Structure 1
Amino acid sequence: MTVEDRAVIVSARIGAGHDGAAAELARRLRERGFDIACHDFLDLLPGRLGQRLCDAYHRELELVPRSWDLLLAAAGSAPLARLAGRLAGLAAPRLRAVLAAPPALVVSTYPLASQVLGALRRRGELAAPVGVYLTDPSVHRLAVSAHAHLHIAPNRHAAAAALRLGAPVAVAAKPVVAPGFRPPVPGERNRARDRFGLARGERLALVVSGSWGVGEVEDITEDVAATGAAHPVVVCGRNDALRERLRRAGVSRVFGWVEDMPALMRACDVVVQNAGGLTTLEALASGLPVLTYRSLPGHGRTNARVLDEIGLVPTVSRADLGHALHTARTAGLPRGADPADLLAVLARPAAVPARAA
């Protein structure tokens, strides 16, 4: 590899969506001849500040989730923007070290990383082009940097929102989903059910709530079961306490962290989610219909509104849940260029043509 082939991706372990998008972008860029270095923004902050920030976010979602409505509403305010800028700036010294050997491309999948990279560009400390991958269907101000060269959005609504918020260029592209997420071939659904100990011949609703297992998961599970339209299969992620509570409550189909989510999705008939993040796109890529129910406050609710408005994932009420579980149909993934092609062109405009959509 030459210096011109190097790319740096900055993500963050807050939830799994930012890291999931970063990992898949890294895989695709490697296929296009790039040498990839991935970094966690939280580890670029001084001392244990990054882990404390992650822990605080997690605790707030668990203990006072409704406060995230207020936080998101304030995301565009000047005081919060200045606070975010100062916090992002604390990562600048370590980020400069990461970028000391100039790469051909820098990509961010996390808003605060986008802010500090934009600041380095503004001050002339970063020559490489910067691409921002927006991981959510809805976009808030802190996710956009006026000094990034390109913002890649998972749908046209998000691209338009990024432009309104100051992105110089924003395009809608195919969502970044790992190739393992695909519809089952004949006979594969039953084999997957056997593997996970799930009954054949039942309609199964996969209840997901992110890698941290946050939100009204117990209520969602109870409501799904009460409809009689599907049997809930619950993934609690890394929330061991939630998994134990559900088991004590008599829920028999409960999983913690699942290494092979593509196979578990192929075992199920419909997905019920509360955040609208990467798992939603993975389910659609697997050919599953997806419903939003009891959304998380803050970004979960804004994501739900966008997904409903663009006709991708309906938001359902308790009164409509049973009918929706029975009749839900998959909408398929949005179409567009491959994000890795767009990023490759950004780094090597004269050498790498974008592939056809």
Structure 2
Amino acid sequence: MLRRDIPDDVRPAGPPPAGRITIVSASVGAGHDGAADALAVELEAAGFQVDRHDFLDLLPARLGHVLCSAYHRLLTSAPSSYQRIYAATERSGSPGPAVRALLRSAERRILREIGPDSRAVVSTYPLASQALGALRRSGRLGIPALTYLTDFSVHPLWVAPGIDAHLAAHPVPAAQATALDAAAVRVTGPVTGSRFIDVDEAERRATRDRFGLPHDAVLALLVAGSWGVGPVRESAAEIRDSAVVEPVIVCGRNTALVEQLRADGFRYVHEWIGDMPLLMRACDVLVQNAGGLTSLEAFASGLPVASYRCIPGHGQTNAAALDEAGLAVWIRRSEDLTSVLSDLAKGSLGERQRAAGLALFASNPGPAAAISAAALPHPHANRKRKLAVSRGKLVAAALTATLSLGVAAPLAHAYESGSGRLPHLAHSFFERYEL
């Protein structure tokens, strides 16, 4: 069995430190939150108190949840439109004006939620990273802000100016982040729940009784994320027709898909699974279409992974990155499905990928070590921050007094900038120092 303990340089030697780490995730699917859950467990084991926040809740008027629903509808009803949007934002390399305005609307809420004794803030969601980076650049956030890249492919929105460090699970996403000029890119390895572990063949087969699975069949676990999106019925039918493996299908919260698959005659169909670690131990290979956290959990469980019929956007770019890393083969043609599944389940390809996946965890300490190091107290930093804030408040107070004395127009004329510039400057100071 493979277990990754908390590294010695992370585990506190004495009493737990009197400090917090804030994690900002997003309930967009389950991958961002799942990574945040695992990070929180490791950081708490290292002695930190952890505060969790959903970035969607930090946007005004429940706008975050409206956008999440729209994204879900795009993936299910208009995947080609989502592909065009993804490609356009990938080419632009930065948020557009509407997205920037949306992010600014969350900045004050983020600052309010970060406690005064927080030592670092971590993002597991790209838009949260953009907001945190802006706060760091403006000086309003005085503690380190780090991004943990939950995807194996790095979309430009993951890379935010102002973020202190970008933590990657593997050299492939690290290289992509570096090419996008990300700051302080580090390969830390992945993070998953501690119950995702490798087991031997006897234990793997013993778990099948819990799910009513056959002992004598080679089982392919087919997953489609917490939303159950993508051409899952087509994939399931092709896997069954391959006659190499028996599909075990997890549909997430897509109850309509569950009913359709059962009507199609599939025997092993599940909705949301509360004990995914155990189900992974029961199967021989994993087939996925998004390349997110579930792939990392499969690597930790000793399962070889195939990407097949991937969803647009990040599903396809993640599949390409995983294939490049030698961790999950990307089956691009249906006629290759049978031979690849056979090689993964019984051949040398499966052995190589299984070894590569387990090595990913054995050779890296995980992102919690880097986060803990960034959160160590720096006594002079707090003093400098307080001094900067005090000076800023003095300047803002002087501006307020000037305006109240009615001399804004003469000063504006002296600066040759029009009568609106000085009030705008004062407003900027009020925003920055929350006067």
TM-score range, shorter chain: over 0.9
CA-CA distance at 1:84 after TM superposition: 2.3
- Does structure 2 conserve the Cα–Cα contact (< 8 Å) formed by 1:240 and 1:256? yes
Match for 1:64 among 69, 78, 94? 78
2:370 maps to 342
More displaced 10-residue stretch of structure 1: 129-138 or 77-86: 77-86
2:89 maps to 75
- Does structure 2 conserve the Cα–Cα contact (< 8 Å) formed by 1:42 and 1:50? yes
- Tell me how many residue pairs correspond in the alignment: 351
2:284 maps to 269
Matched, 1:139 2:154: yes
Match for 2:342 among 312, 326, 329? 326
- Does structure 2 conserve the Cα–Cα contact (< 8 Å) formed by 1:174 and 1:338? yes
2:225 maps to 210
Residues 57-83 of structure 1: CA deviation (Å, up to 9, x unaligned)? 111100011222212211242784333
CA RMSD of aligned residues (A): 1.8
- Does structure 2 conserve the Cα–Cα contact (< 8 Å) formed by 1:81 and 1:142? no
1:29 maps to 43
SS in 2 for 1:36: strand
Residues 8-47 of structure 1: CA deviation (Å, up to 9, x unaligned)? 0000000111001001111101111111000000011112
- Note the residue ranges of structure 1 that are not aligned, 5 or more in a row: 352-357
SS in 2 for 1:171: strand
2:182 maps to 167
SS in 2 for 1:90: helix
Task: Within 5 Å, give how 1:1-357 maps onto structure 2.
Answer: 5-76=19-90, 77=92, 80-185=95-200, 187-316=202-331, 317-328=333-344, 329=350, 330=354, 331-333=356-358, 334=360, 335-348=363-376
SS in 1 for 2:258: helix
CA-CA distance at 1:350 after TM superposition: 7.6
- Does structure 1 conserve the Cα–Cα contact (< 8 Å) formed by 2:244 and 2:341? yes
- Does structure 1 conserve the Cα–Cα contact (< 8 Å) formed by 2:17 and 2:47? no
Residues 171-196 of structure 1: CA deviation (Å, up to 9, x unaligned)? 11211111111122453222211110
SS in 2 for 1:91: helix
Overall identity of the aligned pairs, in %: 48
SS in 2 for 1:53: helix
- Note the residue ranges of structure 2 that are not aligned, 5 or more in a row: 1-14, 345-349, 380-435
Of Structure 1 and Structure 2, the greater helix share is in 2
More displaced 10-residue stretch of structure 1: 96-105 or 205-214: 96-105
Residue type at the aligned position of 2:298: A
CA-CA distance at 1:96 after TM superposition: 1.6
Aligned equivalents of 1:277 and 1:91: distance in 2?
A: 26
Aligned equivalents of 1:107 and 1:313: distance in 2?
A: 28
Q: Which runs of 4+ in 1 moved over 4 A?
A: 1-4
Change (3 A) 1:167 1:78: closer
Aligned equivalents of 1:154 and 1:244: distance in 2?
A: 36
Aligned equivalents of 1:81 and 1:8: distance in 2?
A: 27
Aligned equivalents of 1:342 and 1:79: distance in 2?
A: 26
- Does structure 2 conserve the Cα–Cα contact (< 8 Å) formed by 1:3 and 1:103? no
Aligned equivalents of 2:94 and 2:277: distance in 1?
A: 42
Residue type at the aligned position of 1:90: S
SS in 2 for 1:257: coil
Residues 110-133 of structure 1: CA deviation (Å, up to 9, x unaligned)? 011001111111111100101100
Change (3 A) 1:208 1:78: closer
Residues 244-271 of structure 1: CA deviation (Å, up to 9, x unaligned)? 1101111110000000001000111111
- Does structure 1 conserve the Cα–Cα contact (< 8 Å) formed by 2:94 and 2:157? no
Residues 321-351 of structure 1: CA deviation (Å, up to 9, x unaligned)? 1111111112324232321011111111789
Aligned equivalents of 1:350 and 1:120: distance in 2?
A: 20
CA-CA distance at 1:102 after TM superposition: 4.4
- Does structure 2 conserve the Cα–Cα contact (< 8 Å) formed by 1:4 and 1:104? no
Aligned equivalents of 1:184 and 1:337: distance in 2?
A: 21
SS in 1 for 2:357: coil
SS in 2 for 1:332: helix
Residue type at the aligned position of 2:178: L
Residue type at the aligned position of 2:375: A
CA-CA distance at 1:3 after TM superposition: 8.1
Aligned equivalents of 2:243 and 2:17: distance in 1?
A: 59
Aligned equivalents of 1:101 and 1:81: distance in 2?
A: 32
Aligned equivalents of 2:117 and 2:80: distance in 1?
A: 42
CA-CA distance at 1:309 after TM superposition: 1.3
Change (3 A) 1:292 1:79: closer
CA-CA distance at 1:88 after TM superposition: 1.5
TM score, norm. by length of structure 1? 0.94
1:355 maps to none
The higher radius of gyration belongs to 2
